[in-house]
């Protein structure tokens, strides 16, 4: 039996500390009924800004993403949020165009410094975009936002929430395979398919291919057969619907997109929610 409630009993609102393409805060606030109330572990293999994790605040979680710098940022906050915060305060004071490009060109070995760099660039780069070149080097130019410290920041609380979470750098398949009966798997892959009405987004140096969409649908079906509770989002695309329609419930939902710089992709458009 799943534990009656895997959520923290008193939940303060926690705003994700990163701006991330495809962030799912809108989904959990507009469609809370789609999310299960009871489950054992919370498992999220495409973490990004972790909007759903921060909303649900589960006590036990596995959080994973293929982006090492992203996961190391969570690790930095989990283990030493005060140091990350102190470096960010300095960045806030020193921010300028020259300073942005100086920090962008640097590599830090220490988790706390790498985490502060990642958050600084995320908050001051063009449109909060994450893009790397062929060598895996972040190459987004400076944007118009200058606030490095936000009044929604509560790194102490985020660090406490992360104490119950395992943070992994991994391809999704290995993480999905870890899910057992009554775990809740929230799956939000990049929507990089032959799309009809969605933006084409490059998150990492390796694109998410159609073969990955097939691989994802196969491992989600295997997880469903093990009794895992699943909620997966995807592009409202005929080929995606075909992949899931025989084994999952599918619902079209409305999102309001604001991250893409191209106004073509702004506004309201439908996405799919695929669930058990
Ligand atoms: C749509 S975003 C997730 C957004 C997240 N739900 C949020 O609220 O911010 C997709 C994420 O998948 C990650 N990703 C891309 N390919 C992956 C793969 N093969 N395995 C695991 N993660 C991957 C990207 O780094 C990106 O963070």
Tens-digit pLDDT profile for the chain (276 aa)? 555 445 544 568 899 999 999 899 999 999 999 999 999 999 999 999 999 999 999 999 999 999 999 999 999 999 999 999 999 999 999 999 999 999 999 999 999 999 999 999 999 999 999 999 988 899 999 999 999 999 999 999 999 999 999 999 999 999 999 999 999 999 999 986 554 444 444 444 457 889 999 999 999 999 999 999 999 999 999 999 999 999 999 999 987 655 544 554 455 678 999 999
Pocket flag, ligand 1, residue 120 (CB < 6 Å): no
Q: Considering only CA atoms, which residue is closest to atom 8 of ligand 1?
A: 23
Of 189, 206, 212, the one to substitute when testing ligand 1's pocket (max ligand atoms within 8 A of C-beta) is 189
> What is the distance between the alpha carbons of residues 138 and 266, in angstroms, rounded to a whole number?
24
Q: Which fold has domain 69-153?
A: Adenine-specific Methyltransferase; domain 2 (1.10.1020)
How far, in Å, is the centroid of ligand 1 from the Cα of 48? 5
Beta carbons within 8 Å of 175's beta carbon, 6+ residues apart: 43, 45, 62, 64, 168
Architecture of the domain made up of 25-66+170-275? 3-Layer(aba) Sandwich (3.40)
The residues of the chain that CATH labels 3.40.50.150 are 25-66+170-275
Distance, CA of 263 to CA of 184 (rounded, Å): 35
CATH code 1.10.1020.10 region(s) in the chain: 69-153
Residue 20 CA, closest ligand 1 atom number:
9
Task: Quote the CA–CA distance of 253 and 207 in Å, as a whole number.
Answer: 25
221-251: b (≥16 Cβ within 10 Å) or e: eebbeeebbbbbbbbbbeebeebbeeebeee
């Amino acid at each position: 039996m799943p534990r009656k409630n895997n959520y923290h009993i008193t939940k303060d609102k926690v705003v994700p500390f990163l701006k991330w393409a495809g962030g799912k805060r809108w989904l959990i606030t507009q469609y809370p009924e789609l999310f299960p109330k009871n489950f054992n572990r919370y498992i999220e293999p495409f973490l990004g800004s972790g909007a759903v994790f921060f909303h649900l605040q589960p006590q036990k979680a596995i959080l994973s993403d293929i982006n090492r710098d992203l996961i190391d940022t969570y690790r930095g906050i989990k283990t030493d949020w005060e140091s990350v915060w102190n470096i960010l305060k300095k960045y806030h004071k020193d921010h300028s165009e020259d300073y942005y490009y100086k920090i962008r060109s640097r590599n830090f070995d220490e988790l706390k410094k790498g985490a502060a760099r990642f958050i600084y660039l995320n908050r001051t780069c063009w449109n909060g975009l994450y893009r790397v070149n062929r060598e895996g080097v972040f190459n987004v130019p400076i944007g118009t936002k200058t606030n490095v410290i936000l009044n929604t920041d509560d790194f102490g609380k985020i660090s406490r929430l992360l104490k119950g979470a395992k943070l992994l750098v991994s391809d999704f398949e290995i993480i999905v395979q870890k899910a057992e009966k009554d775990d809740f798997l929230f799956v939000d892959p990049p929507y990089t398919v032959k799309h009809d009405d969605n933006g084409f987004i490059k998150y990492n140096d390796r694109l998410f291919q159609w073969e990955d969409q097939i691989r994802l649908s196969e491992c989600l079906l295997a997880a469903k057969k093990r009794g895992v509770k699943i909620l997966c989002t995807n592009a409202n695309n005929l080929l995606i619907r075909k992949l899931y329609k025989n084994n999952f419930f599918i619902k079209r939902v409305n999102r309001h997109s604001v991250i893409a710089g191209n106004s073509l992709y702004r506004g309201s458009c439908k996405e799919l929610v695929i669930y058990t």
